């Protein structure tokens, strides 16, 4: 099955699969980061890898002007629908973190839910960071969360099954991991089926390749891109340092 077909199907059920994700708490973390580390009050936010608009919608409801980009056209369409429905001061577009050009500057940039992990080549990570920095005002914050390498190697990924039911649709998603420690890569073999009235109505398979990241390499990449690293913490706990049992970590950096 081609990538577009998987993305179309996955996007269709994305918000059901992640209905348990606490966007409000994560946006609290983002706002608390602004209050503690930003030299000015951010009003205009760039959301890189906005997906179906989970963080974007919550931040726009809190009064921010938000622009989101995502590589998935189907996810962008869903986010657009949410913006229209709630009449929000936000916009989204299809674009790639490596080469988007919006011809404007933002007060802050977020990239949430392990978006950065999907950039697997070192040169591309630095390229994305440089492009994000180019879209930030001096002093603008870059906040992102990701899989933390020390924890990935300590805990080790395992096969998972998630079952969710809503509006008469039952979703079953399995993920079988393959770890490549030399290249800091995990290949996640996804299989998703949707069942309605006892029949399979959608089915998709795909391999997601993610690169888990380590603190010293991130400091190097961000410095090279023109950022100063301000904070590493367990996500979404601003005052909790990461450890070898912290799979999800956030970094806060400032554009110089």
- Return d(Cα 114, Cα 87) in angstroms, integer: 28
What would the two tokens of residue 203 be?
């089915």
Sign of CA dihedral 39, 43, 49, 50: positive
Q: What is the DSSP string of the chain?
A: --HHHHHHHHHHHHHHHTTT--HHHHHHHHHHHHHHH-SS---EEEEET-TTTHHHHHHHHTT-EEEEEES-HHHHHHHHHHHHHHT-SEEEEE--TTT---S--EEEEEE-SSGGGG--SHHHHHHHHHHHHHTEEEEEEEEEEEEBHHHHHHH----EEEEEEETTEEEEEEEEEEEETTTTEEEEEEEEEEEETTEEEEEEEEEEEEE-B-HHHHHHHHHHHTEEEEEEEETT-TT----TT--EEEEEEEE-
What CATH number should be reported for the domain whose range is 3-147+214-255? 3.40.50.150
Rg of the chain over Cα atoms, rounded to whole angstroms, equals 18
Instruction: Provide the CB-side half-sphere exposure for 167 (13 A, CA).
Output: 6
Max Cα distance, the chain (Å):
57
| CATH of the domain spanning 152-210, picked from 3.90.550.10, 1.10.3720.10, 2.20.25.110, 2.130.10.10 | 2.20.25.110
Per-residue pLDDT of the chain (256 residues; tens, 9 = 90+): 344 468 889 999 999 999 999 999 999 999 999 999 999 999 999 999 999 999 999 999 999 999 999 999 999 999 999 999 999 999 999 999 999 999 999 999 999 999 999 999 999 999 999 999 999 999 999 999 999 999 999 999 999 999 999 999 999 999 999 999 999 999 999 999 999 999 999 999 999 999 999 999 999 999 999 999 999 999 999 999 999 999 999 999 999 9
Residues in CB range of 175: below 8 A, 6 or more apart: 159, 160, 161, 162, 188, 189, 190, 191
Residues in CB range of 16: below 8 A, 6 or more apart: 164, 166, 169, 171
Domain limits, the chain:
3-147+214-255, 152-210
Q: What pLDDT does 7 receive?
A: 83
């Amino acid at each position: 099955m081609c990538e577009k077909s998987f993305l179309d199907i996955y996007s269709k059920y994305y918000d059901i699969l992640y209905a348990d994700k606490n966007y409000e708490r994560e946006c609290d973390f983002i706002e608390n980061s602004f209050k503690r580390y930003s030299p000015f009050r951010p009003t205009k936010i760039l959301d890189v890898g906005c997906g179906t608009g989970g963080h974007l919608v919550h931040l726009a409801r809190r009064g921010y002007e938000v622009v989101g980009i995502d590589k998935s056209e189907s996810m962008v369409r869903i986010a657009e629908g949410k913006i229209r429905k709630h009449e929000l001061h936000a916009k989204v577009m299809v674009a790639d973190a490596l080469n988007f050009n919006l011809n404007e500057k933002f007060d802050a940039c977020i990239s949430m839910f392990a978006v950065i992990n999907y950039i697997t080549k070192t040169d591309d990570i630095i390229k994305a960071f440089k492009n994000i920095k180019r879209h930030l005002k001096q002093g603008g914050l870059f906040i992102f969360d990701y899989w933390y390498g020390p924890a990935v190697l300590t805990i080790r990924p395992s096969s998972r099954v998630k079952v969710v039911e809503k509006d008469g649709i039952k979703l079953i998603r399995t993920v079988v991991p393959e770890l490549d420690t030399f290249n800091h890569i995990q290949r996640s073999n996804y299989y998703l089926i949707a069942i309605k009235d006892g029949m399979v109505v959608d089915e998709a398979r795909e391999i997601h390749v993610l690169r888990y990241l380590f603190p010293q390499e991130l400091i190097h990449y961000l410095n090279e891109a023109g950022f100063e690293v301000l904070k590493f913490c367990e996500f979404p706990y601003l005052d909790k340092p990461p450890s070898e049992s912290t799979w999800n970590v956030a970094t806060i950096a400032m554009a110089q």
